Amino acid sequence: MAFEGSTAVVTGGAGGLGRAFCEELGRRRARVLVADIDREGAEETARRVRTLGGEAWVERCDVRAPAEVEALARRADELFGRTDLLVNNAGVAVGGPVGEVTLEDWRWQIDINLWGVIYGCHFWVPRMKEQKRGHILNVASAAGLLCPPQLGPYNIAKAGVVALSETLHAEVGKEGIRVTALCPTFFLTGIADAARGANGDAALAAAKRIMERSKVQAPDVARAALASVARGELYCLPMRVGRMSWRLKRALPGGFYKLLSRFGDERGIHRLLRSPQ
């Protein structure tokens, strides 16, 4: 797809990767509806989009609430008449061993990271079918492909996003609709600051250090994802360590999980491979 003059809806657009998506779309002269529960942050994102040459509007949306996601779709209809690109980006993180993570945190994780994407697809797919075109970019994670220990709620939500993307790819491709699952590894966003779970401060600090050291950061991830959208690709794995790990898992699934058991979690993958991003 071409981005200049296109219309896009981005959830979780107030900061982090969502803001990076909006800014990159602004550089490409797109028209963007920025959605987030943080209206003030979304307004700042919209200002940046306009400064970069795009057009932007803001809508408050809690992706846990289907009525609010449906209202967001209606707002896009009012503004644009169509949606060329839907970016299901809003997400949070929960870590910790199964049995120790509270059920409340499990529910919070699944409600936002999986149900939020399901709602987006549910309300936009019929619209895109009617217009006979469109692209859905679902922000998953390499964790949804690799499922490392200590990240059960996050893994399961993101694996569901990958499965949904694959399912949709097979269902709607013949109708002119494309789907991309974005699966990055660690990079710096605000997701760790709001993380919940039972992993403890030391694990969170270690994850933040890896995020900060990554050579691929949010603007790079956004550019890589939009390049995959332009090419109509189903999978986007912007980090080398993610691509290498996924290949290893597919080649030696049993051996891969023995290594994970030894090295502990997804951070152990980085230590194991010791490869640049």
Residues involved in catalysis: 154
Instruction: Give the closest residue to 24 by CA, choosing from 183, 244, 224.
Output: 224
Buried b / exposed e over 40-67, threshold 16 CB at 10 Å, is ebbebbbebbeebebbbbbbebbbbeee
CB atoms within 10 A of CB 197: 24
Q: For tokens 């509270």, what's the residue?
A: 102
DSSP state of 173: G
Pairing, β 85-88 against β 177-182: unpaired
CB atoms within 10 A of CB 269: 25
- Taking CA atoms, 155 is separated from 60, 210, 217, 277, in Å, by 27, 18, 21, 21
Element (H, E) at 139: strand 134-139
- Tokens matching residue 65: 């609430």
